[in-house]
């Protein structure tokens, strides 16, 4: 159901070591620019909902070859992000078998 949070998620199980991630103030500035341009969750908008975005999501996951730059970021809410990362985790498990 939309809006439910999960517990016990591990976000670091499928990270690529060769991707340099933007961190610190530079990452905060990038997030601020993203949310200033697009304050609403893009996934909710497609579904006809209006929800404030709180997460800068990598459209193409870093683990699947995505870049850590602004062109690969989309604003999403926590609920939509959870659904997306669960699907990504399932793909990761199949990929690592």
pLDDT per position as a tens digit, 5-33: 444 444 455 555 666 778 899 999 999 99
Tokens read off for 89: 């985790």
Question: Which residues have C-beta within 8 Å of that of residue 59, sequence separation ≥ 6?
Answer: 66, 72, 73, 74
As a dihedral over the C-alpha atoms of residue 92, residue 31, residue 83, residue 48, rounded to 10 degrees, the angle is -140
Rounded distance between C-alpha atoms, residue 15 and residue 3, angstroms: 25
* Greatest Cα pair distance in the chain: 41
Q: Among the listed ranges 11-15, 66-70, 78-82, 87-91, which one has the minimum average pLDDT value?
A: 11-15
39 has a pLDDT exceeding 90:
yes
- Count other C-beta atoms under 10 Å from residue 4's C-beta: 8
User: Model's pTM, two decimal places?
Assistant: 0.73
Which residues pair with residue 91 across a beta bridge?
A: none
Radius of gyration of the chain (CA): 14
1 has a pLDDT exceeding 60:
no
């Amino acid at each position: 159901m939309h809006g439910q949070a999960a517990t016990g998620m591990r976000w670091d199980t499928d990270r690529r070591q060769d991707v340099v991630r933007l961190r610190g103030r530079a990452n905060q500035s990038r997030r601020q620019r993203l949310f200033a341009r697009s304050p609403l969750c893009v996934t909710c908008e497609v579904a006809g909902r209006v929800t404030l975005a709180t997460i800068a999501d990598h459209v193409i996951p870093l683990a699947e070859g995505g870049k850590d730059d602004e062109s690969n970021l989309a604003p999403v809410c926590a609920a939509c992000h959870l659904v997306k990362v669960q699907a990504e985790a399932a793909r990761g498990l199949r990929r690592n078998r």
